[in-house]
Amino acid sequence: MLLGCLALGSCTNTVERAPGGILQRSQQDPALSGNGEMLAVIVDQRGRPTVQLRDIQNGKILPLRHFSRHQPHSSPSLSWNGRYLAVITQRGNRRLMIIEDRLSGRVHPLPLPGGRDPVRLSLAPDARQVALQVADQGHWRVELFDLSQILEPDKPAGLQSSFPSTELGS
C-alpha cells in the first residue's frame, strides 16, 4: 500500500510533529480522536504506564479526572471529539475498562463478568459501541458491547443525531 501511495504521488513523505514535543518522550498505544484534535498515548509516569491526553493544536496536556489511580493503563481509545476516553486499567487483581466522559466529568467503569479480562479495546467514534478483545480461560475473543444506554453519542459538529427516514414508493 505504501508503494502504491508513493507511485501515485498522493501521499506525502513529511513527518508532522505536533507542538509541545509530543514525540519527545517514550510513548506507546497512540489513539487519535476522530476529528484529529486530540491524541491519547500511554507514557511511563513514575514507573507505571499511564494514559496522557494532549491537544494536537498546542501540544498541551489535557486534564483527566479519573485516571490518576488504578494503573497500569493500556489501549486508550477516543471518541470523535474526544469527549470520551476509554482505557483498560487495573483495580486490585482485576483488569477492567473505564470510560471517562470529559464533558460531564463522570466515569463509567465496565467490569466484565465471568472472569474475562480485557486486553485491547476500540471505542466507536460516536461512543455507541466498544469492541473489546478479551482473554477467557486461555482463549482470545472479540466482543462488541452496546454503550447506547450509558453514553450520549459524540457526533461530529453539524451532524444530525438521527437521520430522517425515507419511504420507498411502490
CA dihedral 75, 78, 40, 106 (to 10 degrees): -90
Q: How far is Cα 41 from Cα 62, in angstroms, rounded to an integer?
A: 12
Model confidence at 115, pLDDT cuts 50, 70, 90, reads confident
Q: Residue with C-alpha cell 486486553?
A: 119
- Residue 76 confidence (pLDDT): 97
Of residues 158 and 100, the one with the higher pLDDT is: 100
Asked whether the beta carbons of 104 and 117 are under 8 A apart, the reply is no
**What one-letter code names the amino acid at 70?**
H
> What three-state secondary structure class fits 4?
helix
Give the CATH H-level superfamily of domain 16-151: TolB, C-terminal domain (2.120.10.30)
Backbone angles phi, psi at 3, to 5 degrees: -60, -35
Is the pLDDT confidence value at 10 over 80? no
Kindly report, residue by residue over 32-76, the tens digit of the pLDDT: 999 999 999 999 988 889 999 999 999 999 999 887 777 899 999
Average pLDDT, the chain: 81
Helices (H) and strands (E) in the chain, counts: 1, 11
Q: How far is Cα 157 from Cα 160, in angstroms, rounded to an integer?
A: 9
Burial of 167 (0-12, 13-18, 19+ CB in 10 A): exposed
- Residue 25 confidence (pLDDT): 67
